[in-house]
Amino acid sequence: MARTRSRYAPDRGLTTRMVSTMFFIGLLYVVLVGVLLAVLRGAWPVILVVAGGLFIAQFWFSDRIAAYGMGAREVTPQEAPELHGAIDRICALADMPKPRVAVAQSDVPNAFATGRSEKTALVCATTGLLRRLEPEELEGVLAHEMSHVAHRDVAVMTIASFLGVLAGIITRVALWGGFARNSRGNDPAGIIIMLIPLISAVVYALSFLLTRLLSRYRELSADRTAALLTGRPSALASALTKVSGQMARIPTEDLRKAEPYNAFYFVPAFAAKESLGRLLSSHPTLEQRLDQLARISAGLSHP
């Protein structure tokens, strides 16, 4: 029997964006594979097996790979009583099953959630975050991460990101492998082969933009629903301000290690003050997030 919904406020905008993102990226994926099948007719079993195998592997193991890459280690209530206690309170508020709890040994103050579903979910906080935040601030951050689990947008982002990565791989193979070396004149097959790098590049670019748009919205959604669930938007705003301010004090080497996983983090980590990563960030700006929380706080004060 399916479990009833959590008490996190539903977000139709987020649901619409997740469905739309999966539809359009899935369509691009199908078109891309279709082109490869049309061009490399004799190799269709290999194409289907490889593409299907990569997709299944990404869906089933990507959360574990991400958690491992970010140094997450599951901890018991005895090892991290404050962290477990905060998550217990949020689960009680949200009427959700408790996820696995982990800690990452990193001075970068951050938190993240992974998992394909509530049953496989893992919520992790870094030692840097646990050391810097007050209990109410920590609960706000963890409520934000639990919102990703409740709305299942972590799984959507994982799948969506993989489709873009696959298109990028095919683009590089096409360019480095010289797919067009046998094309001559107006040979239709040669023209199609010439188009493979272009089609793959378009798939990669569109999927990248779609996942970025979804990611920015889902972060605002998690802030909003976490603030409404806990009833303390000011605590989450304080945590955002504190964590963002502390990032400037973290060694560049540590920030570089964290940067590849920014889409999962509570606050993105950037190794450079000005970079393309900031322009195409997976998160809205700090000002946007604080402004939203201020409006929620005003609304709660004047019902």
Catalytic residues: 145
Whether 17 is in a domain gets the answer no
Whether 13 is in a domain gets the answer no
Long-range contacts of 62-66 (CB under 8 A, 24+ apart): 62/158, 62/162, 63/114, 63/115, 63/116, 63/120, 63/122, 63/154, 63/158, 64/114, 66/112, 66/114, 66/158, 66/261, 66/264
Whether 111 is in a domain gets the answer yes
Whether 5 is in a domain gets the answer no
The answer, as to whether pTM is greater than 0.85, is no
Whether 10 is in a domain gets the answer no
Which range marks the domain in which residue 149 is found?
Answer: 43-299
Total domains in the chain come to 1
Annotated binding site for Zn(2+): 144, 148, 219
Whether 79 is in a domain gets the answer yes
Whether 267 is in a domain gets the answer yes
Give the pLDDT of the chain (303 residues) as one tens digit per residue: 344 578 898 888 998 888 887 787 777 667 767 776 776 666 677 767 776 776 677 677 767 877 888 889 999 999 999 999 999 999 999 999 999 999 999 999 999 998 877 888 999 999 999 999 999 999 999 999 999 999 988 778 767 666 655 555 555 565 555 544 554 445 555 555 566 666 666 766 776 777 777 888 999 999 999 999 999 999 999 999 999 999 888 888 888 888 777 878 999 888 666 555 556 677 899 999 999 999 999 998 876
Whether 31 is in a domain gets the answer no
Annotated binding site: 144, 148, 219
